[in-house]
Chains A and B, each alone.
Chain A
Amino acid sequence: MSAVAGMTFADLKSGMSARVIAVDENCLDSRRLQEMGFTVGTQFSVVKVAPMGDPIEILVRGYRICLRKNECHCIQIESVG
C-alpha cells in the first residue's frame, strides 16, 4: 500500500500502523511527545480507540501509551503496511 502523506493522529483507526515523518518543533507539545518516543522515523501501531473516540492507545517502542488525538497535531505521520 502506498504511503499517504500529511496524515495526523486524527486519521488513525484501530489496528493501523504508521510512521512519524515530521515533528513541528515550534509546537510546545512536541518535546514531550518526542520524549515519549515519537521521534522522526519511529513506527507505531494503534491498539485501540476509546469508546467515545478519544483517547487512542498506541504501541510504540515496545510499550503502550494513550494519547488524545488533538494533542498530537504537531506530529505528521504516514500510514505503513
Chain B
Amino acid sequence: MSLHPDRVGRLKLASHLVIVAGNPNAGKTTLFNSLTGSTQKVANYPGVTVESVEGQYTFAGESIRCVDVPGLYSLKAASEDERVATDVILGRQEGKPELVVYVLDATNLERNLFLFTQIAESQVPMVIALTMPDRLQARGKTVDLERLQSELGVPVVSVVAHEDRKLESLKQAISDALRDKPIPAIDFGLPEGMQSTIRKLSERLARIGVDASQAEIRRNLYEPPELFQRFLEDFPEIAEPFTEARNRLEAEDLLRPSVDVTSRYEWSAKIQSLVLRDAAKPAKVISITDRLDKVLTHRFWGLTIFVLVMYGVFQSIYTVAAPMMAGIEDVFGRLQDAIRPMVSQNEILESFIIDGLIAGVGGMLVFLPQILILFFFIAVLEGSGYLARAAFLMDRLLGWCGLNGRAFIPFLSSYACAIPGIMAARVMPDSKSRLATILVAPLMSCSARLPVYVLLIGTFIEPQYGAFWAGFSLFAMHLLGLVVAIPVVYVLNRKMLKARRLPFVLELPPYQWPKWRDIWLTLVNRGKVFVKTAGTIIVFMSILIWAAASFPRFSPADPVAEAAKFGVAEERAEQWVQEKQLENSILGRFGKAIEPVFIPAGFDWRITTAILSAFPARETIVPSLGIIFSLGGEVDESSGDLQSAMKKATWPDGRPLFTVWTAVGLMVFFALCAQCMATLATVKRETNSWKWAVFMFCYMTALAYVGAVAVNYLGKLFGA
C-alpha cells in the first residue's frame, strides 16, 4: 500500500502532468502564462472555493499538461488554498505528479528554499525555474547555477519570464526531466533522537508490509495536530505505530515545529551563502521601488494618491462601461425586433424567445463590460505591485473586523455592481476572508438600486419634503448597506467562519510594468468563467421567472371586449391585459398568497408581486409596478403616470397604499435584499456551492424584511 490516496480518482493522463509550484510572488503565474498562453482552463477543485488553472503546450512533439497551483509558503497547509496546493503537489488530488517545476525566486532564496526542502522530501522528480535573476543582478548579486544545481541535485534553469528564448531551455529541461526523473538529494542535519525514532518506525512499518520512505514518515509525523488526525483516520491500520512514535518525539521535546523549521532554515541559509556571488556591476544604492514607496506609502501623499487611483478606477467602471452596456442592450433590442416577426405566429413561442431567452442572454451579457473593466484594473494594479501597497495603507481600516486591506476593491466595485465585486474578492489571499467579503459585498448599494430609489424618492419624498430630504434619503440609502455590512461581517467571522485565522502576511513586491500577456489572460479567463458558469445559471433562472410571470396564460380572444366588461377604455385594453396576465400568473398568485407576510411591512399584494417579479434584478421592479398599475411595462423611474398611479393607489378600505413610510420601507427592503439572481449565480460560481448562495439570499431577505417592518412601525409610532 502507499501513503498517497487518490481522493478524487485518477484523471485520464493523456499527456504528461507537470505541476508548477512555488511561493507567492515568486513569478509563478507569469511563468505559467508564458508556458501555456491561451490554452488555459479555469475550474474549481471539488468541494472548495479554490480555483485550479490548467494549460498545456507542445514541445518536441510531446504534449505537456501543466497545472498552476496556488502559491504557498509551507506544506504544513495552514489555509484552504495551501491545503489544495499541498494535496496536488503530494499527489492526493489527481494522482502523483510526474514532475514539479519549482519556481525559485533568485531574490528571495532563503525563504524559497525552505519550501523546497519540504517538497524535496516527497521524492517527486523536480526541475527548478530560477526567476528574477535580472532583479538580483540589479542588487549586485548573481546565482552560481552550477553550484546550486549540484547542491540541490536537480536541474536548474534561469528564466526571465518575458524572454521566450530562455523558456525554450526550460521546456527542454522539463522534457529531459520527464525522461530522467531527477529527484532532489539534500541532507539537512536533524537531531539524532528524531532520526532514530523515524528509522525505528520505518522498520516497524516494513514488518507489516507498509513501504514508506523516511521523508514521507517524517512529513506525516510532523503534521499539525488536525492534519495528523486526518492522516490517522485515512490510515487506521498504521495509526498505532504512528501515534506511539509521535508521543515519543513529544516526550523527547523534538515535536516542536521549531526543531523542524530551524533545521530547514539553517540548511537554506547555508545554500544561499554557497551559491550567491557578487555581480560584475555593483548594486544601485537606492532602488526605484524604495524611491516610489517613499511617496506611495507616505502618510499624506500615499493616502492622497490611493484615493485618486481608486476614484479613477471606479469612475471609469461607470463611464467607460455605460456606453458598452447601452450598446449590448441596443443590440439585443434589435435582435428582439428582428426575430419577433419570425416567431409571431405562436404567442407563447414569441413570448418565450423574445421575453424569456433573448432578454435573459442579453441581461447576462450586460454585466460583461463592468467585469472586464474592473479586472483590467485589478490586473494592472496587481501586476505593477500597487495593489499590495494599497492593502498596506488600508489594512488598519479593514483589518479589525476580520477582513484585510485588500477588501476595499471588492467593496468599492460592489457600489457599481455586485457581480464584478464578488468576482473581485479573488484578490483576498485566503478563502475565509474571501468568503466573508463575498457574503457582504452585495449589501453595498449597487447602481441597479438607483432606479428604485429615484422612483420612490421622486414620488413620495421630493414633492412633499423638498430637495434637501430627497438628497439626504438617497445618501442614507447608499450608506445603509455599508453600515449593516460591518456587524454582519463581524458576526460571520466570529460565529460562522470561525476556523482559526492565520497571521496576516503581505509582501510588497518590487514595482514593475504589468505584463500584457498576464492582463490579457486575466480578462479572457474571468470572462469565460462568468459567461460559462454564472451566465448559464442566470439565463436559466431568467427563463424560470419568465415562465412564472407568463403562466397560466390570460389571453382573451377579444381583449377590447373583455376589457370593456370591466369598464376599461379601448386604448387601455392592452395594458389591462398585461396587468391581468401578471395578476393571474403563478407569480401574481404567489404574491397574493404571501401578502399576509408582508402586511407588517405595509406592503399589499401588488407591492409583494412587484418585489417577487424583481427577483431577476432589482431595477425590474419599475416595469413590474408599471404593469401592476395598468400602465404597461414601458414605464421608467421618472414616469409621471407611474408616480400618480402609485399616489392614488389605495387599500380596499380606501386608505392610501403608499405613505412616505411605506416608500422608505420599500427602499430599505431593496437596499438590503438579495433580489438579483445574477448575484446569487455568481456567488454559486465563486464559492463553488449553492449553500452560500442560499445562505446569502436568506440572510439578506431576512434583514430586508426586518428593516421594512421596522420602518413601518416607526411610521405608526411617529405618524405620517
Contacts and interface: CB of A to CB of B under 8 A. Distances in A.
Interface of A: 23, 25, 28-37, 39-40, 48, 50-55, 57, 61-68, 71-72
Interface stretch (B163-171, B501-509, B611-619): B501-509
Nearest to A39: B262
Given A57-B392, A68-B503, A63 B297 contact: no
Contact of B76 (A31, A53, A72): A31
B628 interface: no
A69 to B, nearest CB: 10
B303 interface: yes
12 contacts: A25-B256, A31-B224, A32-B502, A35-B73, A35-B257, A37-B114, A48-B293, A50-B395, A61-B111, A63-B507, A67-B503, A71-B504
10 nearest A-B pairs in the assembled complex, by CB-CB distance: A52-B396, A51-B299, A66-B506, A71-B503, A63-B108, A61-B110, A35-B74, A34-B261, A31-B257, A29-B503
A37 B266 CA distance: 10
A29 to B, nearest CB: 5
A74 to B, nearest CB: 9
A62 B108 contact: yes
B109 interface: yes
Contacts of A66: 392, 395, 504-508
A16 to B, nearest CB: 18
A51 B508 contact: no
B284 to A, nearest CB: 17
A61 B297 contact: no
Nearest to B141: A62
Given A31-B76, A35-B76, A40 B108 contact: no
B74 A48 contact: no
Interface in B69-99: 73-74, 76, 78
Given A50-B395, A52-B397, 20 more contacts: A25-B258, A32-B74, A33-B503, A34-B261, A39-B261, A39-B265, A52-B393, A52-B396, A57-B392, A57-B508, A61-B265, A62-B109, A62-B272, A63-B507, A64-B508, A65-B506, A65-B507, A66-B392, A66-B507, A72-B503
Contacts of B258: 23, 25, 30, 34, 39-40
Nearest to A68: B504
Interface string B505-521: 11110000000000000
B399 interface: yes
Chain B contact residues: over half helix, strand or loop, or mixed?
helix
Nearest to B503: A71
Contacts, number: 109
Given A36-B73, A48-B293, A51-B297, A65 B505 contact: yes
Given A25-B257, A32-B73, A63 B107 contact: yes
Nearest to A52: B396
A52 B269 CA distance: 34
B4 interface: no
Q: Which of A35, A36, A50, A67 has the most C-beta atoms of chain B within 10 angstroms of its own C-beta? A: A35
Interface in B245-298: 256-258, 261-262, 265, 269, 272, 293, 297-298
Contacts of A68: 395, 399, 503-504
Nearest to A35: B74
A72 B502 CA distance: 11
B11 to A, nearest CB: 31
B396 A53 contact: yes
B407 to A, nearest CB: 14
A63 B73 contact: no
Contacts of A50: 297, 392-393, 395-396
B527 interface: no
Contact of B302 (A32, A35, A51, A71): A51
Contacts of A31: 76, 78, 224, 257, 261
Contacts of A62: 107-110, 272
B9 to A, nearest CB: 32
Nearest to A23: B258
B500 A55 contact: no
A28 to B, nearest CB: 6
B597 to A, nearest CB: 45
Q: Which of B110, B265, B393 has the most C-beta atoms of chain A within 10 angstroms of its own C-beta? A: B265
A70 to B, nearest CB: 9
A53 B272 CA distance: 33
Given A61-B269, A62-B108, A32 B503 contact: yes
A36 B262 contact: no
Given A39-B261, A48-B293, A61-B269, A54 B503 contact: no
Q: Which of A37, A50, A53 has the most C-beta atoms of chain B within 10 angstroms of its own C-beta? A: A50
Contacts of A34: 257-258, 261-262
A52 B399 CA distance: 11
A62 B110 CA distance: 8
Contacts of A32: 73-74, 78, 502-503, 505
A50 B110 CA distance: 26
A67 B504 CA distance: 6
B392 A36 contact: no
Contacts of B261: 31, 34-35, 39
Contact of B110 (A29, A52, A63): A63
Contact of A55 (B76, B114, B257, B392): B392
Nearest to A64: B508
A80 to B, nearest CB: 18
Nearest to A28: B500
B503 A55 contact: no
A34 B503 CA distance: 11
A11 to B, nearest CB: 18
Nearest to A73: B503
A61 B399 CA distance: 26
B500 A37 contact: no
Contacts of A55: 392, 395-396, 504, 506
Contacts of A30: 257-258
Contact of A54 (B78, B111, B396): B396
Nearest to B500: A28
Contacts of B224: 31
Contact of B262 (A40, A52, A54): A40
B679 to A, nearest CB: 31
Contacts of A25: 256-258
A18 B680 CA distance: 49
A51 B269 CA distance: 33
B542 to A, nearest CB: 44
Contacts of B508: 57, 64, 66
Nearest to B82: A32
B223 to A, nearest CB: 11
B396 A36 contact: no
Contacts of B272: 62
A72 B504 CA distance: 10
Nearest to B79: A32
A31 B299 CA distance: 32
A2 B155 CA distance: 47
B505 A36 contact: yes
A35 B507 contact: no
A20 to B, nearest CB: 10
A62 B297 CA distance: 21
Nearest to A60: B111
Contacts of A54: 395-396, 399
